[in-house]
């Protein structure tokens, strides 16, 4: 598990970092929001542990910006304030959990592990190949920041190929997965679906994403 700790209390940060590492958790520790932004751009984290008050800004506002930019990494907010208004503000700004100082270390670890499991479950619903991101739960495809509308057959075809990326999927398996062999009548239907999907996810400047393996089937290449 990899977490980013954003805490300006150097003594507390050192204690938490050492303790988390002893629990087998990899920790990057920073003091400033600006530093945290740089780390988040360079690396994917399972959990972010964020202090609410930092030298260069408000943790709640930073959390809000992350969510606005579609960064949904589970986030545990730390704060010396236990007032209902502050807790509600943090959660409304996008924090997944809130822990008030002082806290017991074992409670922090338990909450971080719980958030990490949630992160793993969320990631299992997201498939990525190059600049394509397919959300299985919402059935939404993005090419970069652009949403691509897919017909049901196109979605199911892309889902199968992305799940098996870099591996050849036979025409027979594709047909059975999408239409069921017993109900499949038109032999050109697969070719048409492949053609339409390619038009939507490939552009002239791209190398091909979906490759034809003659006599066998298709594969999607990372």
Reported as a single tens digit per residue, the pLDDT across 186-218 is: 778 899 999 999 999 987 665 789 999 998 999
Q: What is the pLDDT of residue 121?
A: 58
* Among candidate residues 71, 98, 78, the one with its CA nearest the CA of residue 87: 98
* Among candidate residues 154, 145, 200, the one with its CA nearest the CA of residue 174: 154
Q: What is the pTM of this model?
A: 0.58
Q: What is the pLDDT of residue 122?
A: 58
Q: What is the pLDDT of residue 205?
A: 60
Q: Domains plus CATH for the chain?
A: 2-123 (3.40.50.2300), 126-220 (1.10.10.10)
Instruction: Look at strands 97-100 and 75-79 and give their pairing.
Output: parallel
Q: What is the pLDDT of residue 149?
A: 94
Q: What is the pLDDT of residue 196?
A: 94
Q: What is the pLDDT of residue 206?
A: 59
Query: Are the beta carbons of 5 and 31 closer than 8 angstroms?
Result: no
Report residues of the chain scoring pLDDT below 50. Answer: none
Reported as a single tens digit per residue, the pLDDT across 174-186 is: 888 888 766 666 7
């Amino acid at each position: 598990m990899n977490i980013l700790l954003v805490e300006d209390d150097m003594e507390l940060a050192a204690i938490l970092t050492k303790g988390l590492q002893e629990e087998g958790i990899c920790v990057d520790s920073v003091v400033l929001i600006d530093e945290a932004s740089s780390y988040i751009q360079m690396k994917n984290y399972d959990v972010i542990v964020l202090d609410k008050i930092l030298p260069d800004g408000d943790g709640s506002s930073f959390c809000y910006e992350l969510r606005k930019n579609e960064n949904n990494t589970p986030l545990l907010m730390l704060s010396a304030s236990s007032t209902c208004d502050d807790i509600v503000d943090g959660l409304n700004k996008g924090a997944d959990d809130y822990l008030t100082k002082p806290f017991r270390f074992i409670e922090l670890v338990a909450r971080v592990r719980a958030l990490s499991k949630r992160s793993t479950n969320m990631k299992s619903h997201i498939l990525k190949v190059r600049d394509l991101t397919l959300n299985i739960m919402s059935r939404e495809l993005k090419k970069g920041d652009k949403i691509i509308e897919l017909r049901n057959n196109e979605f199911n075809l892309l889902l199968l190929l992305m799940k098996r990326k870099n591996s050849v999927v036979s025409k027979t398996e594709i047909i059975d997965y999408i239409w069921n062999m017993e109900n499949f009548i038109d032999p050109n239907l697969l070719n048409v679906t492949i053609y339409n999907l390619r038009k939507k996810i490939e552009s002239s400047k791209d190398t091909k994403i979906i490759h034809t393996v003659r006599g066998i089937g298709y594969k999607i290449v990372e």
